[in-house]
DNA sequence: CCTCATTATGCTCATTCTTAGTATAAATAT
DNA sequence: ATATTTATACTAAGAATGAGCATAATGAGG
């Protein structure tokens, strides 16, 4: 590397580290957003980055495809971090984790136990607002967070905590921003309301119930920080669907507009107005009718659509608009 | 790490790699967006990630602050890549580069040669549309890209190339999307129109002028892939200013609304309608008047503003809207 | 002092977008 | 046949946006 004379840091040996790749692999089935898990749903798939992989992305694709027997469509880097909660001083090499978001069209080996596809709302039940405000927020989460805010005596800090709660969770019925899933998880972690927070070494102020005990919020935990990585992936996807047509990779080659709508709603965790959704979709020229219709549903048969070739080719830069506003 | 029996890849030694940290460090002075460079503007600052750094971000902060003698405000991870153009088979450890975007309030050591702050439009002159469409696009870039598209005989490929050019550059006067800076750079690279493309080992189809020679587009190159990293940082920043109040970190504690507008315009590379800008800004409650005004400018004195405390505290989730549309 | 150039700021207005419907069509289940 | 379900067309109120006019407050130059 370069060595500008007065810029060079004191000669320090850049240490050897080991790279671990993590994947948040997403699929959609029957209006459920699924994520691939291992070991009874407690881990995301991960694997080492090795010499045989020319690039990181090829590394991720290689072992995900081997594990799932399925070609991986869209792959996007999520985040890289080093040594969260892992000490480096025991003679072992430090581990740097690089996480990826992957989208795939169909799930496979349904019912398998390892790997197993699970709805991500098992991990984040409060994030599903498709049929209105999740009662978990108003009834369980907000009261406990309020207690956590009250637990600090300094009025300035208390006000800051209340503000942070309000921005992330709204009031339980309004001002819900589905993109803030990661920030919500992190706040719950900080408040000691998720089980993962107990094992952590850093200072955590646990919330206590009326009997002085920790009362974890419903939602399945994962090992290490994999639930946080999952939240990062969901957040990225929820943000991205609003301006890039990522759902290409999740949909079958032909679909009805309602299927498309339900797919996006599954990702966003919110319902959309049907007529407005259709208007936006065909205004944008993302899809074209195949000419056929389906009568798999009960009512009037729906036209089938496919994504337009030109848009698929340029999906990395093509724009989308959805009747999901970017709140505040 | 976990080891699900039928999931384990063939036992492969996860190889040791070296981590290198790169920084795109941005500041604003006199309506120019500046980036910190080394070695006569040919490199971005980079340094090794070493044992003494508990986390990656602390590592970046540590040596950037040592190099610039200036506290680093906002820091955000950009991208991680391994071995772009670097062979791994010579017995040396592979290098994984992790790049960061940093924002800082004031530049320092003005006029110093190393490190030196430079306007990023020296590297991407075609990206400055603040006083209308950049003539470089219509007069230099588009003709050469058109020649590059024509150079392929297969009509399907030719149409695809034309479409990619159109999406990224528009027609030279309209449909300019300032967020696509990275995709534009990559297209110029692919077309062989930037000098960096010549040294690359991968297959590059160089564009040729009328006399059969490579005609690079104006804009200073950098070594390695640092200009690409810079483009990544600018793209991230241009996208982010539209929905998060990142400009906090770049502005002085007090400023006029015109100063704020010029700052954002410098980042976006586009001009905004003054009255509409003001309307949006005060609708959102991002700033509050300090009560004072300034008469540093020639005309009517402008009120001074500061960012509101509440918004600064929650800047990671606070929203912004600017009269810069997210085109297509 | 007067006028002009310059910047700041208030206000309007037409257009487009968005939201939240109503209405109607075409199928299935009973 | 009738109720139910789904698809699709259309509309009207309200909000947001884009473009511009009008006025205010200052310094510079005569």
B112: phi then psi, degrees, rounded to nearest 5: -65, 155
Interchain proximity B7–A93, CB inside 8 Å: no
Segment A150-173 shows an average pLDDT of 94
- Comparing alpha-carbon positions, the chain A residue that sits nearest to B182 is A317
Residue B4 pLDDT > 50, yes or no? no
Instruction: Report the percent of chain B where pLDDT is more than 70.
Output: 86
The residue among B119 and B11 whose pLDDT is bigger is B119
* Tally of residues, chain A: 328
- Strand pairing of A16-29 and A46-48? antiparallel
Q: Are B160 and A312 in contact (CB under 8 A)?
A: no
Beta carbons within 10 angstroms of residue A316's beta carbon: 13
Chain B hits for A326, CB-CB cut-off 8 Å, are 243, 319
What radius of gyration, in Å, describes the C-alpha atoms of chain A? 22
Is residue A119 within 8 Å of residue A220, measured between CB atoms?
no
The answer, for B202 touching chain A at a CB cutoff of 8 Å, is no
B280 beta carbon to strand D: under 7 Å = yes
Provide the β-strand partners of residue B38: B43
**Tokens read off for A288:** 């074209």
Beta strand B94-103 pairing with B16-29:
parallel
> Between the CA of A271 and the C1' of C22, what is the distance in angstroms?
20
CB B129 within 8 A of CB B176: yes
| Position B115 confidence tier, pLDDT thresholds 50, 70, 90 | confident
- Chain B residue with minimal CA distance to A311? B163
Choose, out of A12, A86, A161, the residue to mutate when testing the contact with B (most B CBs < 10 Å). Answer: A12
Separation of alpha carbons A193 and A298, rounded Å: 44
Q: What is the pLDDT of residue A62?
A: 87
Q: Are A49 and B313 an interchain contact pair (Cβ–Cβ within 8 Å)?
A: no
Structure tokens at B279: 């309307």
CA pair distance A317, B184, nearest whole angstrom:
11
Domains of chain A: 17-122 (3.90.79.10), 125-199 (no CATH), 244-313 (1.10.10.10)
pLDDT digits (tens, 9 = 90+) for A268-325: 999 999 999 999 998 999 999 998 888 777 888 999 999 999 898 888 898 899 998 7
Q: Which of A133-137, A147-151, A310-314, B279-283 has the lowest mean pLDDT?
A: A310-314
Nearest CA-CA partner of A82 in B18, B35, B9: B18
- Asked if strand D contacts B275 at the CB level, meaning under 7 A, the answer is yes
The rounded mean pLDDT for chain B is 86
- Give 3-state DSSP helix, strand, coil % of chain A, rounded to 5: 35, 20, 45
**DSSP structure string for B207-230:** ---TTS---PPSS---STTHHHHH
Determine the pLDDT at residue A14.
Answer: 59
Q: Are B236 and B92 in contact (CB under 8 A)?
A: no
Q: What CA–CA distance (Å, rounded) separates A142 from A130?
A: 19
Section B41-53 average pLDDT: 86
Site from B4, B10, B95 to mutate, A interface, most A CB atoms within 10 angstroms? B4
Q: Where are the beta strands (DSSP E) in chain A?
A: 16-29, 32-37, 46-48, 75-82, 94-103, 116-119, 287-294, 302-307
Rounded CA Rg of chain B = 22
Say if residues A112 and A253 touch (Cβ distance below 8 Å): no
Q: How far is Cα A248 from Cα A260, in angstroms, rounded to an integer?
A: 10
pLDDT value at position A197? Answer: 86
Rounded Cα gap, residues B39 and A62, in angstroms? 39
Q: What residue has token string 């005609």?
A: B215
In A185-235, where do the E strands start and end?
none
**Residue bearing the bigger pLDDT, B86 or B298:** B298
- Band of pLDDT at residue A4, cut at 50, 70 and 90: very low
Q: Locate B182 and state its tokens.
A: 């990275």
Q: What is the pLDDT of residue A297?
A: 75
pLDDT at residue A300, as a whole number = 86
Of B9, B115, B326, which has the smallest distance from its Cβ to A7's Cβ? Answer: B115
Helices and strands per DSSP (H, E), number in chain B: 10, 8
Q: Which A residues 173-192 touch B at CB under 8 Å?
A: 177, 180, 183
Strand partners, A23: A100
Residues of B in contact with A83 (CB under 8 A): 54-55
Residue with tokens 């950098």: B222
Q: For chain A, what is the mean pLDDT? A: 86
Q: Please report, for residues A124, A126, A141, A274, B243, the alpha-carbon distance to residue A134 in angstroms, rounded to integers and kept in the order given.
A: 11, 6, 10, 21, 26
B312 interfacial to chain A (CB closer than 8 Å) = no
d(CA B328, CA B326): 6
**Tokens 């991870």 label which residue?**
B77
Which backbone phi and psi does B8 adopt, to 5 degrees? -65, 130
* CA separation, residue A229 to residues A78, A123, B139 (Å): 8, 12, 46
Largest CA distance in chain B: 75
**pLDDT of B24 over the 70 cut:** yes
> Cα–Cα distance between B305 and B292 in angstroms, integer?
8
Q: Which residue of A has its CA nearest to B49?
A: A14
Strand C within 7 A of A323 CB: yes
Instruction: With beta carbons under 8 A apart, name residues in chain B contacting A232.
Output: none
Residue A231, CB, less than 7 Å from strand D? Answer: no
How far apart (Å, rounded) are the C-alpha atoms in residues A315 and A293?
26
Burial of A43 (0-12, 13-18, 19+ CB in 10 A): buried
């Amino acid at each position: 590397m370069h060595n500008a004379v007065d810029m060079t840091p004191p000669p320090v040996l850049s240490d050897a580290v080991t790279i671990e790749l993590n994947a948040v692999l997403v699929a959609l089935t029957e209006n459920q957003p699924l994520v691939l898990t291992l070991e009874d749903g407690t881990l995301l798939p991960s694997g080492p980055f090795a010499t045989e992989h020319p690039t990181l992305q090829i590394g991720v694709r290689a072992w995900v495809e081997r594990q799932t027997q399925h070609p991986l469509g869209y792959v996007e880097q999520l985040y890289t971090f080093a040594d969260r909660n892992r000490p480096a001083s025991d003679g072992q090499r430090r581990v740097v984790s690089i996480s990826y978001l992957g989208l795939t069209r169909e799930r496979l080996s349904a019912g398998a136990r390892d790997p197993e596809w699970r709805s991500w709302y098992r991990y984040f039940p409060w994030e599903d607002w498709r049929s209105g405000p999740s009662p978990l927020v108003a009834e369980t989460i907000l009261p406990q967070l309020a207690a956590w805010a009250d637990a600090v005596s300094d009025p300035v800090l208390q006000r800051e905590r209340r503000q942070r709660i309000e921005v992330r969770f709204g009031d339980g019925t309004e001002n819900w921003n589905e993109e803030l899933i990661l920030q919500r998880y992190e706040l719950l972690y900080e408040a000691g309301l998720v089980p993962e927070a107990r094992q952590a070494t850093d200072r955590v102020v646990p919330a206590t119930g009326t009997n002085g005990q920790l009362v974890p919020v419903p939602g399945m935990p994962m090992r290490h920080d994999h639930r946080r990585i999952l939240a990062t992936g969901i957040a990225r996807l929820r943000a991205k669907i609003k301006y890039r047509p990522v759902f290409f990779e999740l949909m079958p080659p032909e679909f009805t507009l309602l299927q498309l709508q339900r797919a996006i709603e599954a990702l966003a965790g919110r319902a959309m107005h049907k007529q407005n959704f259709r208007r936006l979709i065909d205004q944008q020229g993302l899809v074209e009718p195949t000419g056929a219709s389906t009568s798999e549903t009960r009512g009037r048969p729906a036209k089938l659509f496919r994504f337009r070739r030109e848009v698929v080719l340029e999906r990395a830069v093509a724009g989308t608009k959805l009747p999901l506003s970017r709140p505040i």
